[in-house]
Structure 1
Amino acid sequence: MQITVELDSEHVEKLHALEKRFNKNTSELIAFIIDEVFSEYSAITDEQNADPLKQSSSD
C-alpha cells in the first residue's frame, strides 16, 4: 500500500528523530507504530471484555 501525507515541519522533525531512534525507515516506522497502537488497543479491549463492571459502566 502506498500512503501520501503532508506533514508540517514540526512533525517532519519528529519523524526523522523517530527514524533515527528506532533505526527504521518511514515505512518500517509506520508499521511499527501501527503494531504498537494495535497491541495497546487490543490489550485495553481484552481487559474491558474480561471485566463485566467496566463494560456495563460504559453503557
Structure 2
Amino acid sequence: MAKYICDVCGWIYDEAAGYPEGNIAPGTTWADVPADFVCPICLVDKSQFSLVEE
C-alpha cells in the first residue's frame, strides 16, 4: 500500500488507512479514490498529490 501527499499543504492519504471521514474505506488504492476527491485541508484536487517515496 502506498501513501500520497498533497503538494500544497502536506496532508497524506494512506491507502492502508483510507479516509473514513470522507467515506473512503481502508485499503482503497489511490486509483480507486473518486475523481472528485479533494484534499480535506486545502481543497485541491487529486492532480495536486504526489506518491510518497519511502
Normalization by structure 1: what TM-score? 0.23
Greater share of residues in helix: 1
Q: Which has the higher contact order (CA 8 A, sep 6+)?
A: 2
Normalization by structure 2: what TM-score? 0.24
Greater share of residues in strand: 2
Q: Which has the larger radius of gyration?
A: 1
